[in-house]
Amino acid sequence: MKKNLNPIYIIAFVAAMMAGCADDVLDVKNLSVYNPDDVWNDPTLSNAYLVDLYASTFTGWPVNNGDNADESVGIIGQGLVQTTNNSFKHWPYTNIRRINVLLNDIDEGTLPEATKTAIKAQAHFMRAFHYFKAVVHHGGVPIIKVPQLLTDDLMVPRSSTLACFEFILEDLEQALSGLPDKFVGGDFGRVDKGAAMAFKGRVLLYMASPQFNPSNPYDNSYWQSSYQANLEARNFLESQGYGLMENYSDIWRESANKEVVLATVYRNPVRVNGRQEHCVRPISQSRDCTGSDQPIWKLVETFPMKDGHMPGESPNYTYDLQRFWENRDPRFYDVIVYNGALYELGGQAGRRQYTDTQVGGIADGFGANATFNRSGFYTKKGIQEELPIEQAQLNDVDWVEIRFAEVLFNLAESANEIGNNGEAFEILKLIRERAGIEAGADSNYGLKAGMTRDELREAIYTEKFIEFAFEGKRFWDLRRARKLHTEIHGARKYGLLAKLKDGLDPLSGGFMPEDFDYEITELFNTGQREMFTPEEYYFFPIHRDEIEKNPNLEQNIGWDEGGFNPVID
């Protein structure tokens, strides 16, 4: 992967470190060393402060997030989510306080007004980003707009979920008023107007969703707002040169490409291993770690055939489990590594990946008695295949927090809910056209013509499942749609067992995928075998410690006898 860009926030951070002041200036939790006269009068220090906010706001690849849904190996077991542990909690008030410090103090400094405006706009976006994640996890949370001294009692009650959404949108409007249209070159990776507009569309999509409107999931007025915001985001982004990449796989091979709206930038040797490639690779090509982001059979079988029809339903291509890899959606080969597939790790031309125990070995194989850790598949997404084993932890593929395709999906979903099903249908066609799926005689790319609103909604969710595999979307989409308790709760997970055909010598080598027999095999055949995602998981609890520290906080309904109702309607 070639990267010619020098993200300014990395440069500023390194410069501050070299100056010997970063440890003092950036530790805003220690008020004895935070000096606003130093920070907000010095361009380097103010930029370093902002850099540190970026680092604590935007994280890397969501590795193993698919374990929580029907995407990868892993099970949400009964008892995983509790009020006394940190599972599925987001309480970002340390970061919010630091953002509030910036917004409160910066105008007292001598920085140029244009610099102040740009910094404040980015800070408003990051505060909105933190509050949004908190609301998605817990519903309404305390709204704090000013920095509170650490000696103060933070006895702020929870605001309603609706009030929190309104506050998030206010912050985004503040951001939009001060952001440039587009950051490029050395500023790539900063939040600009396009990113803020796209994120606003995401926020309003959630605000309209069944998660927050269970009594009126698809006919509430928020869908119109979501549609308008996502339409404006699409139009603006296109005016700035954004769009779908011609090749799906190039999204992660070319930094700062036209599909990337907002990214966390990685660059060897300054910042590496956001993808945790050393754990996503098979152990034979890694270093002391493996097993992350393993596709399960549910994801594998969801990819359509290359004419867009589901396996077994295609009028053009026959489907056989024993040759499941043939004639599939081109994205299949960019995402899924199956037994016998070319996987040229370490730059080894012609290398094939095996997952059976005879040829692949116990380390990389799906053992016949496996109880947990082998699905029979790996993923290529975000992997730098050219890295040798000893450099597996030097992966510097950018994490794309928002890409143009998400804006299209958000627009399609909103359009469908307000009755613009034709517009939604055309967006799905665009996605499939870019994927390389055959148009067919009707130019519908395998999509059913004349779908109902409900059918099109499901088609959108399924297409997004494929398009965003291992990008951290699936679990949150199912939760947003209130599908956890109907599609995930009680579900079991399956992989594919490969076994070399009788009569073939495992030592002879050179085997192709068709030299094996395949059997769908249940994972987790001991202990808990079923996912546990009841209806209470649509809003996760606030940690009991936070409730005990602040008697004005009320726990969510369904947790510790809480009485707070986190829905909007």
Looking at 328-451, list the stretches that DSSP marks H as alpha helix, in order from N- to C-terminal side: 330-335, 361-364, 404-417, 421-435
CA atoms within 13 A of residue 555's CA, in its CB half-sphere: 20
The whole-number average pLDDT for the span 63-87 is: 95
pLDDT at 16 exceeding the cut of 50: no
The confidence score (pLDDT) of residue 364 equals: 81
CB 353 within 8 A of CB 285: no
Region for residue 49 given its phi and psi (left: phi exceeds 0; alpha: psi -120 to 50; beta: otherwise): alpha
Higher model confidence: residue 568 or residue 365?
568
Q: What are phi and psi of 136, to 5 degrees?
A: -60, -35
Average pLDDT over residues 448-462: 98
* 367 confidence band (pLDDT: 50, 70, 90): low
pLDDT grade, residue 7 (50/70/90)?
very low
Which tokens belong to 435? 């994927």
Residue with the larger pLDDT of the pair 563 and 33: 563
Beta pairing partners, 517: 499
Residue 373: predicted pLDDT? 66
- Nearest-angstrom CA–CA distance, 208 and 360: 48
**Structural contact between residues 39 and 435, judged by C-beta atoms closer than 8 angstroms:** no
Residue 32 has pLDDT above 70, yes or no: no
The per-residue pLDDT for 27 is 34
Residue 374 has pLDDT above 90, yes or no: no
CA distances from 325 to 289, 354, 358 (A): 27, 14, 21
Mean pLDDT, all residues of the chain = 91
Taking 60 as the threshold, does the pLDDT of residue 305 lie above it? yes
Please, what's the largest Cα pairwise distance for the chain?
Answer: 80
> How do strand 341-342 and strand 378-379 relate by DSSP bridges?
unpaired
How do strand 336-337 and strand 399-403 relate by DSSP bridges?
Answer: unpaired
Q: Is residue 265 scored above 50 in pLDDT?
A: yes
Residue 136 scores a pLDDT above 80: yes
pLDDT the model gives residue 4: 43
Q: Could you tell me what percent of the chain has a pLDDT over 90?
A: 85
Average pLDDT over residues 179-206: 96
Q: 184 or 413: whose pLDDT is higher?
A: 413
Is the model's pLDDT at 535 over the cut of 80?
A: yes
pLDDT tens by residue, 313-361: 999 999 999 999 999 999 999 999 999 999 999 999 999 999 998 898 8
159-170 per-position pLDDT tens digit: 999 999 999 999
Confidence of residue 278 (pLDDT cuts 50, 70, 90): very high
Q: What is the pLDDT of residue 20?
A: 32
Is residue 461 very low, low, confident or very high in pLDDT (cuts 50, 70, 90)? very high
Per-residue model confidence (pLDDT) at position 11: 38
Q: Which residue has the tokens 């920085």?
A: 111
First to last CA, the chain: 47
pLDDT of residue 1: 44
Q: Which domains does the chain have, with CATH numbers?
A: 8-71+88-222 (1.25.40.390), 277-397+493-522 (no CATH)
Q: Model confidence over 218-263: pLDDT tens digits?
A: 999 999 999 999 999 999 999 999 999 999 999 999 999 999 999 9
Q: What is the pLDDT of residue 361?
A: 81
CA distance 244 to 221: 30
Distances (CA, A) of 354 to 185, 191, 319, 481: 41, 42, 22, 37
Please tell me the pTM assigned to this model.
0.93
Mean of pLDDT values over 464-489: 97
